[in-house]
Amino acid sequence: MAKLKLGILISGRGSNLAALITACEQINFPAEIVLVLSNRENAQGLNRAKTANIPTQVITHAEFSDRKAFDSALTEALEHAGVELICLAGFMRLLGNDFVARWTDKIINIHPSLLPAFRGLHVHERAIKAGVRLSGCTVHYVRSEVDDGPIIIQAAVPVLTDDDEVRLAARILQSEHQIYPEAVRLIATGQAHPHGDIVKLTACDSAEATLINPSIKGK
């Protein structure tokens, strides 16, 4: 079966990109990366893509008079590469409504919180301040509001008493690297698809374990 063609949009480090590259290198994985696009020429993720022989392109927003022109250049590059699903992976530019409409149900994003809690920036700091016992990460379809859209997959990660934002971010990032490839696999195999405001799953839900923090085991 033909593999789903992915375009990955990055602005920085690219560790989620690396997780997707690793997944796509598995022979049975149902997707392949056809383009990595960055809006910053010094994004570390570009090197990860080049090492894996994946085509890269830099489109810097400063080159364009407005967001619409920048977004059109992105669409042109993505269409030219034959991209079927866009994965935002630490892409730090807001995308305009026209772009989102052009790619409806064809853009997904990863966010380091259990949405709809903690949209936006500084999420780990805000989660710690709010005193939540569980945080985590979410892969969702992109809609015109930031960090909003039908949820595909989530991982819950305990917030520990001695966590600071760096430690919490690092633990959540490990889960991000697990769920982003899984979200792509679910979409590529038709096991997850958007239906209005939610995603319909034909994959197995997990009833394996309820995560409780603090633990009540052995009490």
Q: Would you give the binding string for ligand GRF spanning residues 44-63, x where CB under 6 A is met? A: -x------------------
Q: Is 136 in the site for ligand GRF (CB under 6 A)?
A: no
Extract the tokens encoding 55: 């085509």
Among 33, 37, 89, 188, binds ligand GRF (CB under 6 A): 89
Among 4, 6, 8, 16, binds ligand GRF (CB under 6 A): 16
Q: Is the Cβ of residue 34 or residue 89 nearer to ligand GRF in the bound state?
A: 89
Among 7, 30, 90, 181, binds ligand GRF (CB under 6 A): 90
Q: Is 142 in the site for ligand GRF (CB under 6 A)?
A: no
140 is catalytic: no
Interface positions, 147-176, toward ligand GRF (CB under 6 A)? 173, 176
Q: Is 181 in the site for ligand GRF (CB under 6 A)?
A: no
SS3 category, 18: helix
* Residue 15 to residue 186: CA distance in whole angstroms: 20
CB of 147 to ligand GRF, least distance (A): 9
* Residue 101 to residue 143: CA distance in whole angstroms: 8
* C-beta contacts of 164-172 below 8 A and 24+ residues apart: 164/128, 165/122, 165/124, 165/125, 165/128, 168/124, 168/127, 168/128, 168/135, 169/112, 169/124, 172/112, 172/124, 172/135, 172/136, 172/137
* Residue 71 to residue 102: CA distance in whole angstroms: 10
Q: Which residues contact ligand GRF by CB under 6 A?
A: 12-17, 45, 89-90, 110-112, 173, 176
Catalytic residue list: 111
